[in-house]
Amino acid sequence: MGKKFSEKVDALKWFITLFALAVFLPAGLMAKQSMAAVFILVVFGLFLCTLVTRPSFLIPNKTVIFSFVLLCGYVAFTHYTTVACTPCAGKAFGKVLFFALVIWVASSRLVLMPALKFSSLCNVLLISIIFSISYLALELVMDAYVYRTVTGRLSDPSVALSRFNRGTSALIILLWPTLFLVFHKGFKLAAVFLLISAFCIAALGDSNSAIASVILALIAAVLTWIYPRFTLGVIIITVIGFSLLVPFIFLHLLEWFQPVANIIPPSTLDRLEIWHRSAVAVIEQPVLGYGIGVSRYLPIPPELASLYKYFTVPTTHPHNAPIQIWLELGSIGLGIMVLLIWFVCAPMKKLRGEYRVAVVAASAAIIFTGFVSYGFWQETWLSIIGMTVILFKLIEQAIPDVTASANNIP
């Protein structure tokens, strides 16, 4: 294969990635379903370009491969032998396959870019973030005026601002790698402006989890800057400990909040009730689980329905990743999933300085959002995580000294 051909393919690979990063947020704010489409297209494009130039880069880490195969084997065993939910068995591997795309992006060298240019990456992300903040501010302040105009619903006041929640979450998470790029380029005031703007946007919106994500991510960033190893250790121990104990915590959480139930926002009380129902189900069948997607088919017994004020019909997912994995895959599946995610995230220990701060802050936002908002297997949610991973892997190449041992491209 000629050198000029490889250079052209590498240039195409860089263009595809840059274009995807440019449109992901704006398109996601206008239509959240577009996030999955953009992520799939960029991964497919990267796959084709890498296949014809450096096919060995497509192979993930061997430990990750083994863990994922183990997960697939376990899902196949449970969903075709012990799981009674027939629809769950039919949809399980579709969900796992999309999750596999994120794992593959994170654990292979698919994203290595010989043609990468730092200035282009920084400028494109900066423009995309500023445009997204401006568009979102306009929609939130003017009651979704652009959306109602485009869809012919200009006189319809029923458009819920919650339709922007997924895009707002993506904005808050992708903000951190963008802040790092802008800060590293020397635009420190611009970085501060973006952070303040993101907080204001979250405060204007309909998502309480978005506001909490901004605050928690900022706290994580400050603590990581001062106590890097301690902070990372606390996050890891907290996440693993919570994931292991979550059924028992959620079993009693609703009762603990009963004295103040009248002042809790309905959306929060609804979450507590959903989590309680999921915890009860987990306690009844803790080992093998009920199957991926079982929440929508899980009835609410009369003795539990009397406890709930807002949770009256089954929901599509429990709005909490650990309890969802417990519910769908059981304790064995949770153990396999924890090992898989641990192996995928292991390279984080090599990160240094301001880059480590950005990664931990974005991770804190992802963890919290995953613990209170979206379903673990939702394609749009996984796409947000996948695009964040792609961006951070690009930064590692653009600024090699952010890791203890930078990747080399032969």
Contact 348, 359 (CB under 8 A): yes
Distance separating alpha carbons of residues 87 and 381, to the nearest angstrom: 22
Q: What pLDDT is attached to residue 156? A: 74
Segment 75-100, tens digit of pLDDT: 999 999 999 888 898 889 899 999 99
Distances (CA, A) of 282 to 68, 116, 243, 294, 328: 23, 47, 13, 12, 9
The total number of structural domains in the chain stands at 1
Instruction: Answer whether residue 119 is part of any domain.
Output: no
Q: Which amino acid is at 199?
A: F
Distance separating alpha carbons of residues 212 and 208, to the nearest angstrom: 6
Distance separating alpha carbons of residues 149 and 386, to the nearest angstrom: 31
Q: What pLDDT is attached to residue 245? A: 96
Instruction: Answer whether residue 193 is part of any domain.
Output: no
Neighbouring C-beta atoms of residue 146, cutoff 10 Å: 13
Instruction: Answer whether residue 186 is part of any domain.
Output: no
Q: What pLDDT is attached to residue 1? A: 54
Buried b or exposed e, range 35-64, using 16+ CB within 10 angstroms: bbbbbeebbebbbebbeebbeebeebbeeb
Answer yes or no: is pLDDT of 402 > 80: no
Q: What pLDDT is attached to residue 403? A: 67
Instruction: Answer whether residue 336 is part of any domain.
Output: yes
Answer yes or no: is pLDDT of 406 > 50: no
Answer yes or no: is pLDDT of 344 > 60: yes
Q: Comparing 102-111, 151-160, 215-224, 360-369, which segment has the lowest mean pLDDT?
A: 151-160
Which positions ≥6 away from 316 have C-beta within 8 Å?
295, 296, 375
Answer yes or no: is pLDDT of 207 > 90: no
Q: What is the mean pLDDT of residues 211-219?
A: 95
Instruction: Answer whether residue 392 is part of any domain.
Output: no
Q: What is the mean pLDDT of residues 141-163?
A: 81
Distance separating alpha carbons of residues 49 and 15, to the nearest angstrom: 11
Segment 277-313, tens digit of pLDDT: 999 999 999 999 999 999 999 999 998 888 888 888 8
Segment 224-277, tens digit of pLDDT: 999 999 999 999 999 999 999 999 999 999 989 888 878 888 888 999 999 999
**Mean pLDDT score of the chain, rounded to an integer?**
91
What confidence category does residue 410 fall into, taking pLDDT thresholds of 50, 70 and 90?
Answer: very low
Q: Which domain holds residue 235?
A: 60-107+208-372
Angle CA(169)–CA(67)–CA(98) in degrees, nearest 5? 40
Instruction: Answer whether residue 35 is part of any domain.
Output: no
Q: Which amino acid is at 291?
A: G
Neighbouring C-beta atoms of residue 128, cutoff 10 Å: 19
Which positions ≥6 away from 354 have C-beta within 8 Å?
180, 183, 184, 225, 402
Segment 22-60, tens digit of pLDDT: 999 999 998 889 999 999 999 999 999 999 999 999 999
pTM listed for this prediction: 0.94
Answer yes or no: is pLDDT of 163 > 80: yes
Distances (CA, A) of 382 to 6, 36, 205, 285: 31, 8, 22, 27
Contact 12, 75 (CB under 8 A): no
Distance separating alpha carbons of residues 130 and 127, to the nearest angstrom: 5
DSSP H or E segment with residue 119: helix 118-141
Is residue 278 packed enough to be buried (19+ CB in 10 Å), middle (13-18) or exposed (0-12)?
Answer: buried
Q: Is the dihedral of CA 227, 230, 231, 232 positive or negative?
A: positive
Instruction: Answer whether residue 136 is part of any domain.
Output: no
Name the residue with higher pLDDT: 404 or 336: 336
What confidence category does residue 151 fall into, taking pLDDT thresholds of 50, 70 and 90?
Answer: confident
Distance separating alpha carbons of residues 285 and 327, to the nearest angstrom: 8
Instruction: Answer whether residue 185 is part of any domain.
Output: no
Answer yes or no: is pLDDT of 338 > 70: yes
